[in-house]
Homo-oligomer: A and B are copies of this chain.
């Protein structure tokens, strides 16, 4: 079975869900252009989620993808949080932030039965997960709707785990990819492998279709991914400058600057490793600092600083997510970008 029939789309291109920089507007544009548009849902509450899905449904009858995180939220550790705020205190001072005014938030919620309640009536064609898969009963519920379930593997071991635990297709995320690493069986960054090595090794050992992600920015990249055995590609970074992206002006400026050639995997923005362009926060606190609270707690205090800095016109504390190949970023419509990829 071709992956096109599998997803019910015209082109084997998945627009990578990118929480914080895109919403249903991008997903709709990609679906309209014959790709698989994705709505990042990890930072939406029930009302926002319902509204986003309704907007996609109203705009297109093509299949789309809803993306969720499925991490286990750890116990909140107030001692660790205090240590973190101590580390951030120079920045609180700089931006006149009163740390006691920062509410303890969660930032990003994992997929739950309550969320499943919201999306069930819409019967999404594709549901993708980051950081593994949800508990079996929850996963079975999603699959019972007829949804195709995707999740991300960053190692051969994770790919085998996902296949054994019910994923219908696997996204092989090479370390070139921007944003959060999907890694979930190990937190050792030295296990992370380039797309050229990861993709064929996963294709070799699993039966399900494999989607290539990481470093793909142009038509040659799509062809290369197919030569390595991919059934489809997932592309994120290349969409960041598109008209329909919600990428901030500061983020856009960073992507268009020479700084974009140098990104690193960092834990300072959320507590989980993610690839972004190097800025002051990464230089001074990271790239990877063991004092950073567990995901998603780190993001709470960091977001306060980010908001103040951005209001002052600075991206010093913004997560400037970006992959290692920003050469394909173009200020065009998503449709035009997709046309250039096929």
Give A327's nearest chain B residue, CB to CB: B201
Nearest-Cβ distance from residue A324 to partner chain B, whole angstroms: 4
Once the chains are docked, how many angstroms separate the CA of A174 from the CA of B204?
21
Residues in B neighbouring A294, C-beta threshold 8 A: none
Residues in B neighbouring A112, C-beta threshold 8 A: none
Nearest-Cβ distance from residue A151 to partner chain B, whole angstroms: 20
The answer to whether A220 and B227 touch across the interface, beta carbons within 8 angstroms, is yes
The answer to whether A193 and B324 touch across the interface, beta carbons within 8 angstroms, is yes
With an 8 A cutoff between CB atoms, is A13 at the interface? no
Give A266's nearest chain B residue, CB to CB: B190
* Given known contacts A220-B227, A227-B227, A174 and B196 CB-to-CB distance under 8 angstroms: yes
The interface stretch among A26-34, A211-219, A242-250 is A211-219
Q: Which of A289-323 contact B (CB under 8 A)?
A: 323
The copy count of this chain in the complex is 2
Once the chains are docked, how many angstroms separate the CA of A197 from the CA of B325?
5
* Given known contacts A201-B327, A227-B227, A194 and B175 CB-to-CB distance under 8 angstroms: yes
Q: Which of A199-229 contact B (CB under 8 A)?
A: 200-201, 204, 214-218, 220-221, 223-225, 227-229
Once the chains are docked, how many angstroms separate the CA of A264 from the CA of B229?
25
Interface centre among A155, A157, A175, by most chain B C-beta atoms within 10 angstroms, is A175
* Given known contacts A191-B262, A220-B227, A221-B228, A197 and B287 CB-to-CB distance under 8 angstroms: no
Residues in B neighbouring A190, C-beta threshold 8 A: 262, 264, 278, 287
Nearest-Cβ distance from residue A335 to partner chain B, whole angstroms: 22
Q: Which of A233-252 contact B (CB under 8 A)?
A: none
The answer to whether B204 and A221 touch across the interface, beta carbons within 8 angstroms, is no
Interface centre among A156, A200, A204, by most chain B C-beta atoms within 10 angstroms, is A200
With an 8 A cutoff between CB atoms, is A176 at the interface? yes
Once the chains are docked, how many angstroms separate the CA of A228 from the CA of B223?
8
The answer to whether A197 and B323 touch across the interface, beta carbons within 8 angstroms, is yes
With an 8 A cutoff between CB atoms, is A46 at the interface? no
The residue from B175, B197, B224, B278 contacting A228, defined by CB atoms under 8 A apart: B224
With an 8 A cutoff between CB atoms, is A62 at the interface? no
With an 8 A cutoff between CB atoms, is A270 at the interface? no
The answer to whether B220 and A325 touch across the interface, beta carbons within 8 angstroms, is no
Nearest-Cβ distance from residue A87 to partner chain B, whole angstroms: 21
With an 8 A cutoff between CB atoms, is A65 at the interface? no
Once the chains are docked, how many angstroms separate the CA of A224 from the CA of B197?
12
**Given contact pairs A197-B214, A197-B324, a sample of 17 additional A-B residue pairs in the complex whose CB atoms are under 8 Å apart:** A157-B261, A176-B194, A176-B196, A190-B287, A191-B262, A195-B196, A195-B215, A196-B215, A196-B224, A198-B324, A200-B218, A200-B221, A204-B327, A223-B227, A224-B227, A224-B228, A227-B227
Which A positions have Cβ atoms within 8 angstroms of B?
155-157, 174-176, 190-191, 193-198, 200-201, 204, 214-218, 220-221, 223-225, 227-229, 261-262, 264, 278, 287, 323-325, 327
| 15 A-B pairs (CB sep. < 8 Å) | A156-B261, A175-B194, A176-B196, A190-B264, A190-B287, A194-B195, A194-B214, A197-B214, A197-B215, A197-B217, A200-B220, A201-B327, A224-B224, A224-B225, A224-B228
